[in-house]
Amino acid sequence: MRYRNRRYIRGTLFLLVLGGFALWRTALQPDAAVDTDFIDDGIIIRSDSIKHASRKLLAMPNCSPSAIEQFPRDIFTLDQKKSGALVVHILVALYMFLALAIVCDDYFVPSLEMLCEALNLQSDIAGATFMAAGSSAPELAASVIGVFIAKNDIGLGTVVGSAVFNIMFVISICALFAGMVVYLNWWPLFRDCVFYTISIIALVLVILDEEVKWYESLTLLALYAVYLIIMYFNPSLEAWVNTKVKPCHDGLIINGRQDPEKEKIIYEKLELKNTASGDDSESDGEVELYSSVSKRNLDKTNGHAVVIHGTDSEVMVKQHTHLDDEPHPFKIPEGHCGRFLWVCSLPLNVFLFITVPDCRRENWKKWFMVTFIMSMVWISAYSYLLVWMITIIGYTLNIPDTMMSITFLAAGVSVPDAIASLLVVRDGYGDMAVSNAVGSNVFDILLCLGLPWFLDSCMHGLESIEVYSEGLTYSSLTLLSTVMFLLVATHLNGWKLDRKFGIVLMLVYVLFMVLASLYELNVFGYFHPPECPVLEED
């Protein structure tokens, strides 16, 4: 296990600041928030002209409820936010992105890893359940908030936007900055893409009539159970498929080059009794093979090590101990950027250090369930503040909630996954990075949407849940084209990640975001009803 918190958080903050700066510049424009006219039986209601009234929702037909109605009243008035106070909300939103990255990486994911070890789960099952929950916890929290609090499509928009972000942007970043050509095993990507396609089709069928019935949400949960069963039998299924299909390529990347003569080992953990050099020294880490290494040259060792380079005649290893993984949240890093980020995150680190036991430390390992519960509490709290801030920003700039969720909110909750996947692929785990990007989307669609929808239906007498934006249906359909494009493009590219492949995926991601935004802005037709105007009180 590796905990690279500083690089993880630094990259997250850097990417999010760019989007925040763009929003800030837009907010300072005097006409940034265009007044919206609503027509009700021939009477034009101008939402920005209604003042000095109690804050309540106007009764209007053919309008979607504004999520801002479901949150506490802001301390700033609409005019103050248009005059520049909106920058405060943008900074708070960016800080919540940082907070989610810290609590997920430093506390939630380690607690899930120890929970899987305690339950003795197979790696496939653990990855498809608890590990997926760890990487998708912000999306799940946003979906729950959208269903139970905001009561609009902000959760659905976040999941749809996060899905295309993972499958296009994340894999594109991995291909562009891997530092070498990374070859992929075809089966994990094909398997996850097939079930991801089934998930998208199920989602489209569920929201096609603009309402979600209880049995439809239950169907999504049942499909996720089927996915777990497939993952459980994955070794046998993969072995059978490999007997029927010729591998797309032989060999593996060794120091950036393919060696077809060596045995292919993508990722394997070996428990050994002696070190690879044959002496009796011990190591406390774990062996992780990601080069083409002949196992007959590896003696046994009591510990573990990270194999850096391997040949048929010799193996070079670097000891990777658990002591190196000991977290040091109060250690001042080197470099001006690192120190600035450390100062910014210090209040978060201190607060989490006091309220959440760090199960990565030897003295707190048995407290992993407390870490798990407290992490969920703070993920929910940070996600609530994040969705609240995003809602205020969108309302002030007159941007639909669904458009804010499918772009900024989805990217914000997924950027930590992008940074983590990039670190993984730079270590040589190409299959792991790509499978995580695609596989997490299955969790997002089937569980992050299915579970809140089903619970909400049960709590309200099995009533249907309304989907207000028809544009999200078309955006979900567009997801089908992205997953098919990924499979075809990967095959045509020889099942490898390189810069050319990364550029193509990035262009497709930008194209999808443009189309989804135009859908929500009703450029191609009337897909998204206007938000119901809100009366502002003094």
How does pLDDT run across 403-421, given as a tens digit for each residue?
888 888 888 878 767 776 7
Give the lowest-confidence range in 147-151, 252-256, 448-452.
252-256
What confidence score (pLDDT) does residue 23 get? 41
Q: What pLDDT is stored for residue 65 in this prediction?
A: 67
pLDDT digits (tens, 9 = 90+) for 127-146: 666 766 777 778 888 888 88
Q: How far apart are CA 170 and CA 476, in angstroms?
A: 18
Q: What percent of the chain has pLDDT over 90?
A: 16
Residue 128 in contact with residue 227, Cβ under 8 Å? yes
Which whole number is the average pLDDT over 439-450? Answer: 88
Q: 């190196």: which residue's tokens? A: 324
pLDDT at 214: 93
- The Cα–Cα gap between 138 and 85 comes to 26
* DSSP conformation letters of 182-201: EE--HHHHHHHHHHHHHHHH
* pLDDT exceeds 50 at position 209: yes
pLDDT at 234 (0 to 100): 82
What's the burial of 355, exposed, middle or buried (CB within 10 Å: 0-12/13-18/19+)?
A: exposed
Residue 5 CA to residue 106 CA, distance in Å, equals: 7
Among 153-167, 258-272, 428-442, the minimum mean pLDDT is found in: 258-272
Q: Note the pLDDT of residue 219.
A: 95
* 49 pLDDT tier (thresholds 50, 70, 90): very low
More reliable by pLDDT, 18 or 140: 140
CA 288 to chain centre: 25
Supply the pLDDT for residue 305. Answer: 34
In 10 A of CB 242, how many CB atoms? 13
pLDDT range class, residue 62, cuts 50, 70, 90: low
Whether the pLDDT of residue 89 is over 90: the answer is yes
- Per-residue model confidence (pLDDT) at position 123: 58
Residue 463 near residue 216, CB atoms below 8 Å: no
Higher pLDDT, residue 21 or 467:
467
List the domains of the chain with CATH numbers: 5-254+323-520 (1.20.1420.30)
**pTM listed for this prediction:** 0.68
Confidence at residue 124, expressed as pLDDT on a 0 to 100 scale: 56
